[in-house]
Amino acid sequence: MSLLDLHEGQQGVLDRLELPEEAARRLMELGFLPGSTVVAAKCAPGGDPRVFRVDGAEIALRSATAARLKLRVPAPATPEQAG
Amino acid sequence: MKVCRGCNSVALPSRPRAPRAVAIVGPPNSGKSTLFNRLSGLRQKVANYPGVTVEQRLGRARINGGGEVVLIDLPGLYSLTPRSEDERVARDVLSGEMRDCPCPEAVLLVLDSTHLARHLTLAAPILGLGLPCLVVLNMADELRQRGGAVDIEALARELGAPVALVSALQGEGLEVVRSFLQRWGAAPAPAALPVLYDVPRCRAWASRVGQRASYQAPAPSLVTRRLDAIFLHPWWGVLILAVVLVMVFQAIFAWSRPLTDGVQALIAFSGARLGALLPASPLRSLLLEGVWGGVGSVVVFLPQILLLFAFLGILEDSGYLARAALIADRTMARIGLQGKSFIPLLSAHACATPAILAARTIENKRDRIATILIAPLVTCTARLPVYTLVIAAFLPERPLLGPLLGTRAAAILGLYLLGFLAALGTAWLLKSSILKSDPTPFVLEMPPYRRPTLRALADRLVDRARIFLRRAGTVILAIAVTMWLMAHLPLEEERQPPIEHSFVGTLGRLIEPAVKPLGFDWKIGVGLISSLAAREAIVGTLGALHGLDPEARTLGLQEALRKDLTPSGAVALLVFFALTMPCLITFGLVGRETGSWKWPLLQFAYMGVLAYTGAWVAHRLAGLLG
């Protein structure tokens, strides 16, 4: 699962960034750290790029990048989180 | 005493009288520049750091008790890791290793209090520098309004440095900053600092510090979400962007009319008054035709350019520009560029120089260079006087779409389209060949919507007006005077030569073979050369050349043009101008901004070939069609 699979309002916990080190670092500085909660927000008309809310900021990523940010697969016992 | 390597002597501590320097550091969007403007007012100087493309902003702030400090506004940073050019510059300035820059003795660290947990990450490397530091938590008003809070005393204890909660925009809490500038204390003594180059650890440290200072992040702004629901709506969003763009164009071309006319009248009036004061002499002619006419023809564009910047300023300060870039990204991606290129290409409709400066926000270097290279192909306002003159001389006005669109407006629109398509095509060409992109991901931070303030807008406009007028007073002035001298020299029997014998005439004859295939005569050729200084200069040059030509003296400029140019030559001239080489100011700026003369040379050659070929084809086609 990646950020791309989140619908607007859904959230997930970031597991890893499958990006070159430089790019990953840049995103980490913006708040995309493994373990942080990311909420999918609006997207541009046409669906790409998409805006994600992380650590109180809203950051737009192209789908190609969002697909490389993998989410933790939720444990089966996790209570359902409202979007 | 602090050792300051490579520093300019101004800031050396051995000179007791030199004002001390303070650096302003902060992440992008933290309101750093607003604070800088607040503190220094209009006493600013903008230049480039030597050898790099990063803008150096120095200001002077008065402090209580009569003294002054020099403020250095550093570029926005997320960390001090020297990866981007901005970050390298910031590190060098802070460590006193930057040439021609005063060595800062203290730091104002500006953080957005509504994003404190994230912004505190930058505090670690800054405090680690060991310079006295005031941590300025900006946007205090917004934090309060949205129900956030922070214990600044606890934060000061954690960071081992004084903390001020301010709103630079509203001018709130600035006394604390001013008294810090007057007298700063010792170096900071933070409770603990993380390993500096480890991003996750820095983040963990930042959130721990935030917790200890009982930081409560503000509730997400409801206004921002509601506005985004409209501005990023699948249909409304696109429609609103289209309306905004039309309004920007309307502002440049229609609403600025009275202002432009006013400035023009003022220049003409003052020129006439000046002429009446001076006795008839070559000096009078130089002052009136050369200086007043030459500089005046450029100053006329000031209202248009300021209006465009007012619009862009409002769009940027309100947070809408980031949304516009987001919406445009998909379309820009098709030609290999990205959403951030959209803003420079929009500004380029006023003038290529602000567009090239606006390209600084593009982090991907290749995208940035591609944007800079295509910006001069977009039709700038300086080409309008040329279009207007030639079209008015050759194309009779007839309605095409009732009262909405006439033949002349349609011709101008067509030329805009030609330039724009050439820009898009060139972008595609560049991005699929020499500037194929490296995989830096597109990242765009969406700032919350804010109400733009008049004060911040005024600061921007004054800044722009100053840059523009400085250019008019130096480069344009020099060209105008050179043109005048070349048209009046060499003296023949101590009298002004006929225009054909002047330097300009000789030059014109020299280049005539080159421009003849396009249907131009030597006067147009000289006009083209003068247009390299500034596009609109060709109008003034043609005016001067015809005014000096006894045969044409009786004719108005439009009639004179009809005499010199065939209709197919006129079409060629218009096409040439739509695609023409960048003006010299743009040329210089591109060199400075790309850090290499290879790019402006390539751009110049490419656009020159494009313009020449385009004009030649247009001349032939128009000739065939009659």
Taking the domains of chain A in order of start, what are their residue ranges?
3-71
Tell me the mean pLDDT in the region B314-335: 88
Tell me which of B224-238, B244-258, B602-616 is least confident: B244-258
Residue B2 confidence (pLDDT): 44
State whether CATH 2.30.30.90 applies to domain A3-71: yes
The one-letter amino acid at B214: S
pLDDT, averaged across chain B = 82
Query: Which residue in chain A is spatially nearest to B216 when comparing CA positions?
Result: A56
Which residues does chain A have within 8 Å of residue B218's beta carbon, measured at their own beta carbons? 56
Calculate the alpha carbon distances from B527 to A70, B261, B298, B523, B545 in Å. Answer: 60, 24, 15, 6, 9
Which residues does chain A have within 8 Å of residue B117's beta carbon, measured at their own beta carbons? 55-56
Domains of chain B: 9-219 (3.40.50.300), 236-251+303-451 (no CATH), 455-625 (no CATH)
Tell me the mean pLDDT in the region A64-73: 91
pLDDT reading at B1 higher than 70: no
Nearest alpha-carbon partner for B610 in B582, B579, B583? B579
pLDDT, averaged across chain A = 85
Query: Which residue in chain A is spatially nearest to B204 when comparing CA positions?
Result: A33
Reading the block at residue B608, the tokens are 């020159």
How buried is residue B209: exposed, middle or buried, by Cβ count under 10 Å (0-12/13-18/19+)? buried
Residue B234, chain A, CB below 8 Å: the answer is: yes
Partner residue facing B117 (CB), from A45, A56, A64: A56
Partner residue facing B115 (CB), from A49, A57, A65: A57
Look at A5 and B217; give whichever has higher pLDDT. A5
Reading the block at residue B502, the tokens are 């002047």
CA triplet A60, A65, A68: central angle to 5 degrees? 130
> How does pLDDT run across B9-53, given as a tens digit for each residue?
344 444 445 678 999 999 887 888 889 988 887 677 766 565 555
Residue B406 confidence (pLDDT): 77
Contact criterion met (CB < 8 Å) for B330 and A19? no
Which residues does chain B have within 8 Å of residue A42's beta carbon, measured at their own beta carbons? 228-229, 232
Residue B233, chain A, CB below 8 Å: the answer is: yes
Query: Which residue in chain B is spatially nearest to A66 when comparing CA positions?
Result: B441
CA dihedral of residues B59, B63, B69, B73 (deg, nearest 10): -40
Contact criterion met (CB < 8 Å) for B118 and A55? yes
> How does pLDDT run across A33-55, given as a tens digit for each residue?
898 899 999 888 888 899 999 88
ipTM entry: 0.87
Contact criterion met (CB < 8 Å) for B199 and A29? yes
Radius of gyration (C-alpha) of chain B in whole angstroms: 28
Note if the bond before B190 is cis, omega within 30 degrees.
Answer: no
**Who's near B256: CB < 8 A, 6+ residues apart?**
B303, B304, B307
> How does pLDDT run across B358-394, given as a tens digit for each residue?
787 787 788 889 999 999 999 887 888 788 888 888 8
Give dist(CA B174, CA B151) in Å, integer: 18
pLDDT band at A75 (very low <50, low <70, confident <90, very high): low
Within 10 A of B310 (CB to CB), how many other CB atoms are there?
17
Tell me the mean pLDDT in the region B499-516: 84
Contact criterion met (CB < 8 Å) for A26 and B441? yes
Radius of gyration (C-alpha) of chain A in whole angstroms: 12
Closest CA–CA distance from residue B11 to any residue of chain A (Å) = 33
Residue B221 confidence (pLDDT): 80
Residue B111 confidence (pLDDT): 95
Tell me which of B98-107, B272-281, B531-540, B541-550 is least confident: B541-550
Among B77, B228, B446, which would you mutate to test the A interface (most chain A Cβ atoms within 10 Å of its Cβ)?
A: B446
Closest CA–CA distance from residue A50 to any residue of chain B (Å) = 9
pLDDT reading at B7 higher than 50: no
- Cβ–Cβ < 8 Å for A66, A60: no
- Cβ–Cβ < 8 Å for B203, B196: no
Contact criterion met (CB < 8 Å) for B232 and A61? no
Which residues does chain A have within 8 Å of residue B445's beta carbon, measured at their own beta carbons? 30, 57-60
pLDDT reading at B505 higher than 90: no
Within 10 A of B153 (CB to CB), how many other CB atoms are there?
11
Strands (E), B375-510: 443-446
Contact criterion met (CB < 8 Å) for B446 and A26? no
Residue B207 confidence (pLDDT): 84
Which residues does chain A have within 8 Å of residue B327's beta carbon, measured at their own beta carbons? 44-45
> Which residues 417-446 on chain B approach chain A with CB closer than 8 angstroms?
439-446
Look at B274 and B422; give whichever has higher pLDDT. B422
Contact criterion met (CB < 8 Å) for A45 and B117? no
